[in-house]
Amino acid sequence: MPRPVNVTTLAVVTHETDTDRVRQLPCWHGALSVAPLAGGMTNRNYLVEDSRGKHVVRLGEDVPHHHLLRWHELAVSRAAHAAGLSPEVEYAEPGALVMRFLEARTLTPEEVRDPARIPAIVDLLKRCHRELPLHLHGPTLTFWPFQVVRSYAVELRALRSPWAHRLDSFLNLNKELERHLTRAPLAFGHNDLLAGNLLDDGQRLWLIDWDYAGFSTPLFDLANLATNNGFTDAQETSLLESYFEGSVDDSLLRAYRAMRVVSLLRETLWGMVSEHYPAKEFDYAAYTRENLLRLEEEITRYQAV
């Protein structure tokens, strides 16, 4: 069974080596400053300033246990820029992605669920779902959360996870939920709608971080947005009616509610797997427990409807 890495040591070593790696990238001009940026659960981010201005560097290799392939992240990042959703990719090489820095701030969950902001977020999501794939060339991935859950279960059994005793019940739940998605619409999803991945420059919103992007259903993005940012029932109704441009029928609503549960199920198992592969100084075990509690509350809510 793999043993957890000492994450404090890992973080110190990574910062030192990362700074050298960033400085050696061949895309800079003139004097250089490098500073770490917060955020990123599967990559390390740095703010770089040279004679041309500010840039963001994302460092990270493939993460097979989370189905993350950096060639795909790069292709989607370029397509997202072409669709007007994300900043320009200025340079890329294996393990490193350099993008133009946006003078913008990340939203908070409170701002994301503000009813006055929902139309702008819905517009951003629709452009992602419908327009981004028009600019995406070559092979691409799918993101079907039920399959992700099944894959995580296999990984956790192989790792002899302390959570292995919960997996049968999770898989049974996953199977039940998937039955409600037989008529789900198809779209190209972002699939990681944390508040920190939405930026506001004072004029418009931007969407960043395409690690988990792939063809899915818009219901996952909508449910993921709601569960990650604490939407109330009224805010969810506003979100769904704005996206679908009218009232939502019972079949679609049931599918959406199932997707809320699987969004939290996938997030919980993400934490369980990440406990075995700590990539940075972060309390993955606490993250698992927090999401497991939210999942159990969501299951109760789902079963009561």
Domain ranges of the chain: 7-304
Sheet holding 44-50, edge to edge: 33-37, 44-50, 53-59, 96-100, 89-93
Q: What is the mean pLDDT of the chain?
A: 92
pLDDT in the model for residue 134: 97
pLDDT at 83 over 90: yes
pLDDT at 85 over 80: yes
User: Percentage of the chain surpassing pLDDT 70?
Assistant: 95
pLDDT in the model for residue 6: 36
Taking only the tens place, the pLDDT of each residue in 164-202 is: 999 999 999 999 999 988 777 899 999 999 999 999 999
- CA distance linking residue 35 with residue 22, whole number of Å: 10
Indicate the pTM of the whole model. 0.91
Q: 171 - beta bridge partners?
A: none
CATH code given to domain 7-304: 3.90.1200.10
What angle, rounded to 10 degrees, do the helices at 167-178 and 145-158 form?
170
Name the nearest CA neighbour of 73 among 12, 155, 143: 143
pLDDT in the model for residue 305: 76
Is the dihedral angle over the CA atoms 260, 261, 267, 270 positive or is it negative? Answer: negative
Cα atoms in the 13 Å half-sphere on the side-chain side of 27 = 20
pLDDT in the model for residue 275: 95
- CA distance linking residue 106 with residue 209, whole number of Å: 12
Taking only the tens place, the pLDDT of each residue in 23-72 is: 999 999 999 999 999 877 888 999 999 999 999 999 999 999 999 999 99
Q: What is the dihedral of CA 280, 281, 285, 287, to 10 degrees?
A: -80
Provide φ and ψ at 6, rounded to 5°: -70, 100
pLDDT in the model for residue 277: 92
pLDDT in the model for residue 3: 30
Q: 44 - beta bridge partners?
A: 59
